[in-house]
Structure 1
Amino acid sequence: MDKVGGAQKHVEALAIKLKQDGHGVTIVTGTYDATLWRLQDEQIHVISIPVMQRAIHLTKDIQALWQLRAIFKKIQPDVIAAHSSKAGAIGRIIGRLLRIPTIFTAHSWSFTEGVPQKKQRIYRQLEKTVQPLTTKIITVSDYDRKLALTRGIAPAHKMMTIHNGIEQLETPEIAARGTNEHPLIVMVARFEAPKRQDLLVQALLELTDIPWHLQLIGDGSLRPQVENYVKDKGLSERISFLGNQLDVSPLLAQSQIFVLLSDWEGLPISIIEAMRAGLPIIATNVGGVNELVTDDDNGFLIPRDDHSLLKNRLQQLLTNPALCEKMGDASERRFLRNFTFSPMYQKTVSIYEQAVLKFAKKGD
């Protein structure tokens, strides 16, 4: 949790609500940047194990496993909720060793379409190996559930789709969209694979004859590369780099168009946040994105690497405020109907409770 991302936001929101409901919650993560999260304010215990890293590294992974085992033996949790491929695998191994029910949430399979083939093979085999150790698998999109079934990862009865959801704003941001000098485009994403801020900048480079301003929210290792490209192309006055933001809702409230271009995805929380803000969406049609965005309804879906269509859809929205408003209204209605926090939370807690009861009945 040293970077802001959808899976991390999901874990934070669940942890805060669980704590508020009287449950004991401990988050165990790799590297951790407390300034990016509200966990300290909510008095949620966070344990950082720097040796647990994203990339596969046999020696460090074994060290992480034994450190986590010692931590869980001390905490003695009723249930382990594991998130992300690496931590998910290690967490499930420990769950079996300590006889603790373990729920794995797949935010996007690491063998999904768009991921390099070598990485797909490694993680597909890893998932097949640890699947028998898993009490239940939550997929955040129907796409990911179907993909797991197709690849023979787990039987249907062991998986359940629970779409991501976020809280409604208690005091909705007062939109200042009509006061912008130019149409404001926003993209909220880490500057890491699979996000593609570079594709958006390249498309806008061909639309400099019409007014627009772009705000890129997020940080990561690829940010300097994109910043240098923007500077080289003379776009520094039209593109702002805002870094990580604890609360993106005020920035979304001021925007006209939300864009997310990714090579692969699960069910992006950033798109759900944009829907809550009443924005039209332009996004690559990967993973579960089409469960959020219906083409030509609340936005436009773009095939991966279709540069021409991306440019055309941007131009279409930038030059048609009425269409932006119509699609934005459709986004907000869809959010309120399907992607609020409470239903997602209740379904998730129910899975945790069922897992604990199942283990109790077996005498584990």
Structure 2
Amino acid sequence: MNKRIRVLHVAEAAGGVERYLQTLFKYNDKEQVENILVCSQNYDYKKFKTLADRVIVLRMAHDIEPSSDIKVERTLRRIIKQLKPDIVYAHSSKAGAFARIADLGLNNKVIYNPHGWAFNMQQSAKKKEMYKWVEKISAHFCDKIVCISDAEKESALREKICKPSKLQVIYNGIDLEEIEKTTPMSRAQLGIPEDAFVVGMVGRLSKQKAPDTFVKSAKLIKEKIPNAFFLMVGDGELRDQVESLINQYDLGSSFLITGWVDNPAAYMKIMDVGMLLSRWEGFGLVLPEYMACGIPIVATNVDAIPNIVKDGVNGLLVKQNDFYATCDAVYKIYIDKNLKRKIININEKSVKKFDALRTVIESLKLYTQ
């Protein structure tokens, strides 16, 4: 029997990256690949112990903290030397920097997946420029860069991050099997009226995901659709601001913020519309999840989202921060039953291309190249 490929995954950012790794490990061919995860304290490492061959938790700061970062680098280099992986696979920008520096001069293959370029985020021009230069320099110290969408590859080529041959597109995948067998939450259980038109958002309550736009849209939607109810599945640093805005608009009785949940699909399945109003987006994992749950989508026309959602075909696209257009799109789905049915039928057929098994197969090919 051939020796298994030992892959050491390094991950700091939780959220979407965590879900990506969870699915990658679940469908991994254990006879061919040994997965070791070095993750931050933000991960549900108990869950990963059942999925990966080994889990090592390191305390990592999300922002730049020189003394803490140097300590992580030293520990990570020691781990790499000790475990001698065939591949070091770094996920997201902070872990990408950690892993590529820690691995300098060591004899293995290095793969980096930014899971959305940091320089595409909304921030000052100075910060964007800094991130571009960090990525350009760091690109010299890895063998392959995985882009999670065509838009991400186009960004890298436009900014001349590295030579085209170093880039490889592997679309994110979702656990279709798990979503299919997920039992929906009951509306009664959540305090949602049975006759409510439920408009939902799954994601981090952060600037990127624009929860403020969701609430401002909700105010307008409620005026047009009196039985509308709004469900936010997630948590984040803007939660206090979001709750304050909800109270300001007197929407408290028509709103539920669940916090983080283990089974977002169970909540998606009771939605009538699923929204992703991101200000920037490397992929938008929740979009194919909405599709798999049979929910019409309203999303912003930014970055990778139009690669997945075609306006008027399998969802409706709006400009970012445009809560008037967002309200109109939701109302269009509410009144036009044929449009809703068309979107659901198209997504039912097309969602299969986002199956996690394809991501696993393409990742294995990458390991063996």
Same-fold status (TM-score > 0.5): yes
Shift of 1:3: 7.5
Instruction: Give per-residue Cα distances to partners, 1:216-270, cap 9 Å, x unaligned.
Output: 0111111121112212321111110111111112211221111011111111111
- Checking the alignment, whether the CA contact within 8 Å between 1:216 and 1:241 is kept in structure 2 is yes
CA distance in 1, matches of 2:186, 2:340: 11
Identity value in percent:
26
Quote the offset at 1:19 in angstroms: 6.5
* Structure 1 gap segments, 5+ residues each: 355-364
User: What is the correspondence of 1:136-151 to structure 2 with a 5 Å cutoff?
Assistant: 136-151=144-159
Question: Matched residues in 2 for 1:44 and 1:315: separation?
Answer: 48
CA distance in 2, matches of 1:156, 1:19: 29
Q: How does 1:1-364 map onto structure 2 within 5 Å?
A: 5-18=15-28, 20-21=30-31, 23-34=33-44, 38-42=47-51, 44-50=53-59, 52-112=60-120, 114-169=122-177, 171-173=180-182, 180-209=194-223, 210=225, 211-336=227-352, 338-354=353-369
**Are 1:4 and 1:218, in contact at CA under 8 Å, matched by a contact in 2?**
no
Structure 2, gaps ≥5 residues long: 1-10, 188-192
Question: Distance in 2 between the 1:305 and 1:90 partners?
Answer: 34
Which AA in structure 1 matches 2:28?
Answer: L
- Secondary structure of the equivalent of 1:301? strand
Distance of 2:261 and 2:14 partners within structure 1: 9
Shift of 1:172: 4.1
Q: Which amino acid aligns with 1:353?
A: T
User: How many matched pairs?
Assistant: 351
CA distance in 1: counterparts of 2:131 and 2:81, whole angstroms: 27
Name the residue aligned to 1:358: none
C-alpha spacing 1:176/1:331, structure 2 compared with 1 (3 Å): farther
Match of 2:5? none
Native 8 Å contact 2:210 2:321 kept in 1 = no
Corresponding letter in the other structure for 1:220: G
Q: Deviations over 1:154-187 (max 9, x none)?
A: 1111101111111222654577999941111111
TM-fit CA distance, 1:59: 2.7
Amino acid at match of 2:276: L
Distance 2:181 2:62 in 1: 36
Is contact 1:27-1:45 (8 Å) kept? yes
The CA RMSD over aligned residues, in Å, is: 2.3
Larger mean Cα displacement after TM superposition, 286-295 or 302-311: 302-311
Letter in 2 for 1:181: D
Counterparts of 1:350 and 1:276, CA distance in 2:
26
